[in-house]
Amino acid sequence: MITLEGLTKRYGESTAVDALDLTISPGRVTGFLGPNGAGKSTTMRMILGLDRPTAGSALVDGRPYAQWPVPLGKVGALLDAKALHPRRSARNHLVAMARSNGIPVSRVDEVLRLVGVDEVGGKRAGAFSLGMGQRLGIAGALLGDPEILMFDEPVNGLDPDGVRWVRQLMRSLAAEGRTVFVSSHLMSEMQLTADQLVVIGRGRLIADAPVAEVIAGSSRTTVHVRVPERAGLAVLRERLTAEAEQVESRADQLVVAGVPAERVGDLAYELGVRLHELTTVRASLEEAYMELTADSVEYGVAADVSAVA
């Protein structure tokens, strides 16, 4: 378990992380989302003791990471796949990590096979492609068979097969009861992988909720109603307008926001309106995320992309 209490990091007058209170629990994949500059990497670095908090604390199973006698046996992390000696072979890179933590060297060959780079373990790590470097970084995170795993953009550079493998790996680790904390900008992948989402913006907590709850809270989730008779369409629209956040007419359809499909169906029954379709169209995680972080984007782009020419 990872516990953040009032975790704060300032650089001069700039606040990168602002009084975060969080509990990252075991047995699930927790996705860590936020715009560029939101403070995600800084938060992860403070958990691992790489940056010192200005205020507050980051605890790993009740104590600072640096106080664990065998750190790799408690937390495995991939924050930067290029953080290695480029002239060392992949295997020797992991051997050095293992020896520094009292991990049997036999474990090195196990994780190399697990991530699929055992056949190139003798090659210089600096010559690896981005995707192969990511696999080696994941091997390093798994080396100590840790209870807690942290990944920052783990699928960067991976092909579709590799992305799917990482997804399955994270879910299997969580299923074993481990704590899995993963930062990513790939919303579609997080929707498939994560159980819980933590969203921050400008260093502050915006959301901490299950994925389904974050999506359900989006105004982009709508109910589509198809009514074959114009009179029935008009009657239902008038009634829904009094309850819904928004009602839009499209030919023989109504698109309703802010009222669940069950309520729309009940109203249609009460009014004697015949329906040919009643469908909930859920927002994507990307749409829900964009709504949540709309006021927290520090590095925006021009709304009219066509103007850049």
Within-domain flag for 30: yes
Same domain, 132 and 241: no
Same domain, 117 and 40: yes
Same domain, 260 and 152: no
CA dist 30 and 176 (Å) reads 14
Q: Does 299 have pLDDT greater than 80?
A: no
Mean pLDDT, rounded, for 152-156: 90
Average model confidence (pLDDT) across the chain: 91
Residue 143 lies in domain: 2-216
CA dist 140 and 156 (Å) reads 16
DSSP conformational letter for 63: B
Last residue of a domain, one of 191, 216, 241: 216
CA dist 237 and 77 (Å) reads 53
pLDDT tens-place string over residues 89-147: 999 999 999 999 999 999 999 999 999 888 888 899 888 888 888 999 999 999 999 99
Q: Does 308 have pLDDT greater than 50?
A: no
Q: What is the pLDDT of residue 301?
A: 52
Q: What is the pLDDT of residue 294?
A: 85
| Max mean pLDDT range (156-170, 172-186, 275-289) | 172-186
Residues 6+ apart with CB under 8 A from 115: 135, 136, 138, 139, 142
Q: Does 5 have pLDDT greater than 90?
A: yes
SS3 of 239-262: the string is: HHHCCCCEEEEECCEEEEECCCHH
pLDDT tens-place string over residues 265-287: 999 999 999 999 999 998 889 98
Q: What is the pLDDT of residue 296?
A: 76
Within-domain flag for 270: yes
pLDDT tens-place string over residues 50-88: 999 999 999 999 999 999 999 999 999 999 878 888 888
Q: What is the pLDDT of residue 86?
A: 83
Element (H, E) at 6: strand 2-11
Same domain, 43 and 141: yes
Q: Does 302 have pLDDT greater than 70?
A: no
CA dist 305 and 309 (Å) reads 9
Say which CATH number the domain at 229 has: 3.30.70.980
